[in-house]
Amino acid sequence: PALARTSVGGTTLRLIDISLIGDFAAVGSPLSQKKLGRLQGGFHDPRSKGFSVPSAELSLGGAVDPYFYGEAHILFGEGFVELEEAFLTSQRLPFGLELEAGHFLTEFGLANPSHPHTWTWLDSPVIQTRLFGGDGMRASGLRLGWLTPLPWYLEIHLGAQTASGETMKSFLGEQG
């Protein structure tokens, strides 16, 4: 049975996945606090010495109907609340196709499409923060994926996302 259910637009929304994930850090460094803050390029990286909670993420997911699965990830940080991702993913397209629509992390590289709590390292990769900004690359858009029928795993993605906004720094640049 669903943990929560409500009627939305003539269909029943069933939430079957609810999680709250906290990221905790303990930092020690001979660098000054100012230098340490500049060294860390990712918004989820610990920025102060001692014990901190850089973020906590509330994730909600579930089948909207037989054709779509919905996800939302809300981030609570030190002094901010942010909708990190909210999107629908198709469930029953032919030929191994999958359509995703909403606000999501761009599937580019290893670290960008994953959330920091799934990483096997603590800090954002330096190259990612310099190319995509401190929060990675994410925006509203559409993505079509195709799981090829090969004997090994190969999935091909074609997507279009809004190139403006604070989380798409690599395309439009930033002031200064």
Model confidence over 71-82: pLDDT tens digits? Answer: 999 988 778 888
Tokens of residue 11, six digits: 């269909």
Q: Which pLDDT belongs to residue 131?
A: 76
Using an 8 Å Cβ cutoff, are 100 and 89 in contact? yes
Q: Which pLDDT belongs to residue 34?
A: 76
Cα–Cα distance for residue pair 100/90, rounded to 1 Å? 6
What's the DSSP call for residue 120? S
pLDDT of 128 strictly over 50: yes
Q: Which pLDDT belongs to residue 124?
A: 74
Tokens of residue 14, six digits: 């069933």
Query: What's the pLDDT band for 28 if we cut at 50, 70, 90?
Result: confident
- Alpha carbon 111 to chain centroid, angstroms: 10
Tokens of residue 89, six digits: 């993913």
Phi-psi category of residue 9: left, alpha or beta, with phi > 0 → left and psi -120 to 50 → alpha: left
For 162, residues 6+ apart whose C-beta sits below 8 A from its C-beta are 139, 140, 141, 168
